[in-house]
C-alpha cells in the first residue's frame, strides 16, 4: 500500500497497491524531493485510459522496476481529470519537447516541479522505436546526477518557452480586424478542406467527433443555405451513429474511433463526449426532424441515466475501456453468442450489423451498420418504424445478456464541469423534442450540482466530488460551463431566477481568473505549486473555457444589461480573430461566437399567462442565434429586455423581437413572430 490509498480518485486508487511509492500531487512529495535532492516523476492518466492500464501492468507492478523508481525518484501519480491544471502544464511541456502527447503522460521534473524531460507510453522492453521504461529511468537518473546543470538550464528554458507560448493569440494584433459576413464562408471552407469525404468526419484516424465543428456547419447552412456544409455535418453524425463508436446495443458514444470508418473505438465512454454529442444531435433533429436523431438522443440519455447517474442526481465521469483485462470485451460479440440470444432473428441481425464467424475486429465483432436502417428498410421493402421496432427488440435481448458479463469499472468521481455540460445537453434535448422529462432531469442534476459542489455562501465551488467529499478549487472550465448551463436553464424553463446565479458566478470569474489585460481568463486561480499559470484558448476534448466565457458574457450581458461584459466578449473575439480563421477546427467554439456576432443575435421576449406554452413551441424551432426571455407581470421592471414592454390583457401571450436594442411592435401569434425573425 502506498500514499494513494488515502485518495478518492478511482484512477489513483487503482495504483494504491503498486510497489511504486506513489504520492498524490502536493507539497509533501516536492518537499521530500528537495530534501533528498532527487528528480520527480509526475505520471498522469485517467481511469478509463487503456494504455494507462497497460503501462501499469507492465512496469508499475513490476517489483524490480518499482525498486529502481523508489530509489532514484520521488514518484507522483495524477488523475488528469481531477487536476486538469497539472495535466495542461505538463502536456504542453511534453508536446514542446517531442512534438506529440497523450496518456499515460510521464514527465520528469526538478524538485521544484519544473519539467526537463518527458514522454507518453514506454514499453517494458525496447519496442515500437521506443526505449524501454527502465532504460528511460536509467538515462534520466544518470543525466540528473552527472549533468544536473544541463537539466536545470533545460527546465528554465522550457518554462520560459511555455510562458511565452501561453500568451500567443491572447495579445492584440497590430492589424485591427475588420469583421465581415464573408468570414463565415472562409471558416466553412477551411473546415471542409479537412473533411473526410468518404467516411466523413474530419481528418484521418484516430477520428474524434469534433462536435463544435459540426455545429458550426449546421448553423452556417441555416444562415447561408450552403448545402455542402449541411451534407458534411449530417453525414458525419450519421456515420458515427452507424459505427462502432456508438454502442448499438446499449446506447452512448465511446471516446473516439481508431480507424477512419468509425468501426473500432477505444471503448471508454466519457460523460463529456456524450453531453457534447447530445447537443449537436438536438440541433440536427431541429434542422431535419429525422427520427434517427431523436432515437439516438433517447438511447444516449437512457444509457447515461442507467449507467452513470448516481443517487445524488449527479453523473459519474466515465466507464473503463477494459474489462477482465481486455479492451472492449464487454461490448464485443461472437457470432455464436448472437445466435444463442436472438435465435431465429440472428441471421438477419448478423447481416445487418456485420457479425461474422471470423469477426470484424480482432477475431470478435463490434456491431455496426455499414448502411443506415432507412436504407435497409428500403432494400427489404419494410416500413422504417417496423424495422426500428425489430432492431430495438433485438437490442433489448442483447443488452439483457450483456448485463450478465463482468462490467468495466465505473469512474465514480463526479466533476462539476462535465455535469454542467450535461445540464446544457439535457436542455437542448428538451428544446428539440419537447419532452418534459428531459427538462425535469436537467433541473434535478443542477440541484444535485449545487448540493455537491458548493459551500454555504455559493461563492466558492469545488471541482470534484465523491462520497460526500468535495475538493479542489473549481477551474475556469467548471465556472464557464456552469454559467452556460444556468443560461440554458433560464431559457428552457422561463425561470429568470437562474440569472441571479449567472450574475454571481460571472463576477466571481472576473475577479479571480482575469488576466492582466482584463480580456482573457486563466485556467485556475493563482497557484504557487505550478511553474506556469495557463490560459487555454483552443478547444481540446471539451470546448475552451475562455470561448464559453466569451459566449456567456455576450448572452448574459444582454440579459442583465451589462455592456462591459458584451464589450469584453467582443474584445476576446477580436484578439483571436485571425487565429480562428486559420484554424477553425481547433477553435470551433470561438467560430460559433464569431458567427453569432456576424449574423446578429435575435432577442425574443414572451410575456403573459400562457407564455410558457408558447415558449415550448418556440424552442423547438431551429433559430440558433436566438436569445429568449420569458416574463410575468411582476418581472417587467427587473430585466432590461422585459422593461417597458406592454402585456396585452386580451391575448394569451405578447411577443417582441429585438435586434441591437431596437424592438418590434408586439405580436400575438407565433406565425407573426417567425415572419419578423425571417425578415
Q: What cell does 505 get? A: 458566478
Is it the case that residue 78 has pLDDT exceeding 90? yes
Residue 171 located in a structural domain: no
Q: What cell does 108 get? A: 520528469
Question: How far does Cα 589 stand from its chain's mean position?
Answer: 11
| % of residues, the chain, pLDDT over 70 | 98
Q: Is 457 helix (H, G, I), strand (E, B) or coil?
A: coil
Residue 287 has a pLDDT of 98
Question: How far does Cα 324 stand from its chain's mean position?
Answer: 28
Integer Cα distance of 561 and 570 in angstroms: 15
359 in the same domain as 233: no
620 in the same domain as 518: no
Element (H, E) at 394: helix 384-402
423 in the same domain as 293: yes
Q: Can you tell me the mean pLDDT for 598-606?
A: 96
Q: For residue 104, give the nearest of 148, 50, 163, 165 by alpha carbon.
A: 50
Based on the structure, what is the number of domains in the chain? 4
The pLDDT confidence band at residue 527, using thresholds 50, 70 and 90, is confident
Q: Can you tell me the mean pLDDT for 576-595?
A: 94
Is it the case that residue 128 has pLDDT exceeding 80? no
Largest CA distance in the chain: 88
Element (H, E) at 491: helix 476-493
Residue 168 has a pLDDT of 65
Residue 176 located in a structural domain: no
Residue 525's domain is classified under what CATH number?
Answer: 1.50.10.10
472 in the same domain as 429: yes
- Strands of the sheet containing 602-607, edge to edge, are 626-631, 602-607, 654-659, 662-663
* pLDDT single digits (tens) 155-174: 999 999 998 887 766 666 66
386 in the same domain as 294: no
Q: Are 107 and 155 in contact (CB under 8 A)?
A: no
Q: What cell does 220 get? A: 452556417
Residue 170 has a pLDDT of 64
* pLDDT single digits (tens) 649-665: 777 899 999 998 789 99
Q: Are 424 and 492 in contact (CB under 8 A)?
A: no
Integer Cα distance of 111 and 20 in angstroms: 18
Integer Cα distance of 115 and 366 in angstroms: 41
DSSP code per residue over 622-674: --TTEEEEEE-TTSTTTSTTTTTPPPPTTSS-EEEEEETTEEPPPB-SHHHHH
Q: What cell does 377 get? A: 428498410
Integer Cα distance of 586 and 589 in angstroms: 9
> 3-state DSSP helix/strand/coil percent for the chain, to nearest 5?
50, 15, 35
Look at the block and give the residue holding cell 473549481: 474
Q: Per mean pLDDT, which of 374-378, 483-487, 632-636 is the most reliable?
A: 483-487
Q: What cell does 674 get? A: 417567425
Q: What cell does 555 get? A: 448572452
Is it the case that residue 457 has pLDDT exceeding 90? no
**351: containing domain:** 335-404
> Residue 16, CB half-sphere, CA atoms under 13 Å: how many?
13
Integer Cα distance of 148 and 419 in angstroms: 44
CA distances (Å), origin 408, targets 4, 79, 152, 641: 22, 18, 43, 50
* pLDDT single digits (tens) 551-577: 999 999 999 999 999 999 999 999 999
Q: For residue 251, give the nearest of 329, 316, 306 by alpha carbon.
A: 306
489 in the same domain as 461: yes
Residue 246 located in a structural domain: yes
Residue 660 has a pLDDT of 83
State the average pLDDT for the chain: 94
Give the count of beta carbons closer than 10 Å to the beta carbon of residue 5.
Answer: 12
Integer Cα distance of 620 and 294 in angstroms: 13
446 in the same domain as 348: no
Surface-to-core class of residue 422, CB atoms within 10 Å of its CB (0-12 exposed, 13-18 middle, 19+ buried):
buried
Residue 609 has a pLDDT of 84
Residue with the bigger pLDDT between 527 and 492: it is 492
Integer Cα distance of 322 and 326 in angstroms: 5
The pLDDT confidence band at residue 45, using thresholds 50, 70 and 90, is very high
Q: Is 78 helix (H, G, I), strand (E, B) or coil?
A: strand
Is it the case that residue 363 has pLDDT exceeding 90? yes
Q: Can you tell me the mean pLDDT for 233-238?
A: 97
Integer Cα distance of 655 and 375 in angstroms: 43
CA distances (Å), origin 592, targets 212, 376, 463, 573, 625: 8, 36, 27, 11, 10
252 in the same domain as 388: no
Q: Which of the listed residues 384, 404, 424 is the one where a domain comes to its end? A: 404
Residue 174 has a pLDDT of 61
Residue 177 located in a structural domain: no
* pLDDT single digits (tens) 315-354: 999 999 999 989 999 999 999 999 999 999 999 999 999 9
Q: Which residues contact residue 80 at a Cβ distance below 8 angstroms, ignoring those fewer than 6 apart?
A: 44, 45, 46, 86, 87, 103, 105
Integer Cα distance of 155 and 90 in angstroms: 12
CA distances (Å), origin 576, targets 189, 435, 488, 661: 19, 39, 25, 26
DSSP code per residue over 594-626: HHHHHH--EEEEEESTTHHHHHHHHHHS--TTE
490 in the same domain as 391: no
Torsions phi, psi for 423 (to 5 deg): -60, -45
Is it the case that residue 458 has pLDDT exceeding 70? no
Q: Are 357 and 333 in contact (CB under 8 A)?
A: no
Q: Can you tell me the mean pLDDT for 613-633?
A: 93
The pLDDT confidence band at residue 435, using thresholds 50, 70 and 90, is very high
* pLDDT single digits (tens) 467-524: 999 999 999 999 999 999 999 999 999 999 999 999 999 999 999 999 988 799 999 9
* pLDDT single digits (tens) 269-305: 999 999 999 999 999 999 999 999 999 999 999 999 9
633 in the same domain as 567: no
Question: How far does Cα 119 stand from its chain's mean position?
Answer: 25
Look at the block and give the residue holding cell 508536446: 95
Q: Which of the listed residues 133, 166, 199 is the one where a domain comes to its end? A: 166
196 in the same domain as 293: yes
Q: What cell does 406 get? A: 463482468
What's the full length of the chain, in residues?
679
Residue 251 located in a structural domain: yes
Single pTM value for the model:
0.95
Residue 172 located in a structural domain: no
Integer Cα distance of 101 and 92 in angstroms: 8
Residue 179 has a pLDDT of 84
Q: Is 488 helix (H, G, I), strand (E, B) or coil?
A: helix
Residue 166 has a pLDDT of 78
Residue 416 located in a structural domain: yes
Q: Which residues contact residue 515 at a Cβ distance below 8 angstroms, ignoring those fewer than 6 apart?
A: 170, 521, 522, 535
308 in the same domain as 393: no
* pLDDT single digits (tens) 253-266: 999 999 999 999 98
Integer Cα distance of 338 and 326 in angstroms: 20
Residue 24's domain is classified under what CATH number?
Answer: 3.40.30.10
Q: Are 521 and 546 in contact (CB under 8 A)?
A: yes
Is it the case that residue 456 has pLDDT exceeding 80? no
Residue 175 located in a structural domain: no
Q: Which of the listed residues 115, 142, 166 is the one where a domain comes to its end? A: 166
Amino acid at each position: 500500500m502506498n500514499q494513494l490509498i488515502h485518495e478518492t480518485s478511482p484512477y489513483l486508487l487503482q495504483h494504491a497497491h503498486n510497489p511504486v511509492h506513489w504520492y498524490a500531487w502536493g507539497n509533501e512529495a516536492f518537499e521530500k524531493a528537495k530534501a533528498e535532492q532527487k528528480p520527480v516523476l509526475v505520471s498522469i492518466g485517467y481511469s478509463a485510459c487503456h494504455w494507462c492500464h497497460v503501462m501499469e501492468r507492465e512496469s508499475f507492478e513490476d517489483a524490480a522496476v518499482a525498486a529502481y523508481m523508489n530509489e532514484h525518484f520521488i514518484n507522483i501519480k495524477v488523475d488528469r481529470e481531477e487536476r486538469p491544471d497539472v495535466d495542461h502544464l505538463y502536456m504542453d511541456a511534453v508536446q514542446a519537447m517531442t512534438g506529440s502527447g497523450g496518456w499515460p503522460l510521464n514527465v520528469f521534473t526538478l524538485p521544484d516541479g519544473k519539467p526537463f524531460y518527458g514522454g507518453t507510453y514506454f514499453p517494458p522492453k525496447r519496442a515500437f522505436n521506443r526505449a524501454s521504461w527502465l532504460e528511460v529511468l536509467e538515462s534520466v537518473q544518470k543525466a540528473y546526477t552527472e549533468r544536473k546543470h544541463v537539466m536545470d538550464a533545460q527546465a528554465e528554458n522550457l518554462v520560459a518557452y511555455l510562458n511565452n507560448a501561453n500568451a500567443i493569440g491572447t495579445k492584440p494584433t497590430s492589424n485591427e480586424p475588420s469583421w465581415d459576413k464573408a468570414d463565415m464562408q472562409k471558416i466553412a471552407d477551411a473546415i471542409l478542406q479537412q473533411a473526410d469525404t468518404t467516411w466523413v468526419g474530419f481528418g484521418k484516424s484516430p477520428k474524434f467527433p469534433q462536435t463544435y465543428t459540426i455545429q458550426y456547419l449546421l448553423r452556417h447552412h441555416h444562415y447561408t443555405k450552403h448545402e455542402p456544409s449541411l451534407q458534411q455535418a449530417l453525414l458525419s453524425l450519421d456515420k458515427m451513429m452507424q459505427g462502432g463508436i456508438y454502442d448499438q446495443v446499449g446506447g452512448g458514444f465511446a471516446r473516439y474511433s481508431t480507424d477512419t470508418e468509425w468501426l473500432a473505438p477505444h471503448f471508454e465512454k466519457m460523460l463529456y463526449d456524450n453531453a457534447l454529442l447530445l447537443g449537436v444531435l438536438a440541433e440536427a433533429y431541429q434542422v431535419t426532424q429525422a427520427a434517427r436523431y431523436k432515437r439516438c438522443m433517447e438511447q444516449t440519455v437512457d444509457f447515461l441515466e442507467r449507467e452513470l447517474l448516481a443517487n445524488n442526481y449527479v453523473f459519474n465521469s466515465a466507464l473503463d475501456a477494459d474489462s477482465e483485462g481486455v479492451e472492449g470485451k464487454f461490448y464485443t460479440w461472437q457470432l455464436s453468442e448472437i445466435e444463442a440470444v436472438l435465435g431465429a432473428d440472428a441471421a438477419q441481425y448478423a447481416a445487418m450489423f456485420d457479425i461474422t464467424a471470423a469477426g470484424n475486429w480482432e477475431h470478435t465483432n463490434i456491431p455496426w451498420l455499414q448502411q443506415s436502417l432507412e436504407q435497409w428498410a428500403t432494400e427489404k421493402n419494410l416500413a422504417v418504424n417496423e424495422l426500428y421496432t425489430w432492431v430495438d427488440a433485438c437490442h433489448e435481448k442483447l443488452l439483457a445478456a450483456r448485463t450478465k458479463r463482468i462490467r468495466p469499472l465505473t469512474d465514480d468521481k463526479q466533476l462539476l464541469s462535465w455535469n454542467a455540460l450535461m445540464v446544457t445537453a439535457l436542455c437542448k434535448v428538451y428544446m428539440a423534442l419537447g419532452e418534459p422529462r428531459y427538462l425535469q432531469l436537467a433541473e434535478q442534476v443542477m440541484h444535485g450540482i449545487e448540493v455537491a459542489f458548493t459551500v454555504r455562501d455559493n461563492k466558492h465551488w469545488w471541482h470534484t466530488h465523491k462520497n460526500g467529499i468535495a475538493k479542489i478549487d473549481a477551474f475556469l472550465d467548471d465556472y464557464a460551463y456552469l454559467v452556460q448551463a444556468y443560461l440554458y436553464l433560464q431559457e428552457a424553463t422561463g425561470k429568470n431566477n437562474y440569472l441571479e446565479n449567472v450574475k454571481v458566478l460571472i463576477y466571481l470569474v472576473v475577479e479571480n481568473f482575469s488576466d492582466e489585460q482584463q480580456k482573457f481568463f486563466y485556467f485556475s486561480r493563482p497557484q504557487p505549486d505550478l511553474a506556469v499559470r495557463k490560459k487555454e484558448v483552443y478547444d481540446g476534448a471539451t470546448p475552451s473555457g475562455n470561448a464559453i466565457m466569451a459566449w456567456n458574457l455576450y448572452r448574459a450581458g444582454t440579459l442583465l444589461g451589462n455592456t462591459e461584459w458584451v464589450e469584453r466578449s467582443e474584445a476576446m473575439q477580436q484578439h483571436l480573430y485571425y487565429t480562428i480563421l486559420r484554424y477553425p477546427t481547433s477553435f470551433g467554439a470561438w467560430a460559433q461566437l464569431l458567427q453569432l456576432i456576424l449574423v446578429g443575435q435575435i432577442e425574443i421576449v414572451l410575456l403573459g399567462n400562457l407564455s410558457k406554452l408558447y415558449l415550448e413551441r418556440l424552442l423547438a424551432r431551429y433559430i440558433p442565434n436566438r436569445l429568449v426571455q420569458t416574463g410575468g407581470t411582476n418581472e417587467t421592471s427587473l430585466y432590461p429586455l422585459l422593461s417597458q414592454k406592454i402585456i396585452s390583457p386580451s391575448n394569451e401571450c405578447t411577443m417582441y423581437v429585438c435586434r441591437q436594442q431596437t424592438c418590434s411592435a408586439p405580436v400575438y401569434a407565433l406565425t407573426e413572430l417567425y415572419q419578423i425573425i425571417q425578415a
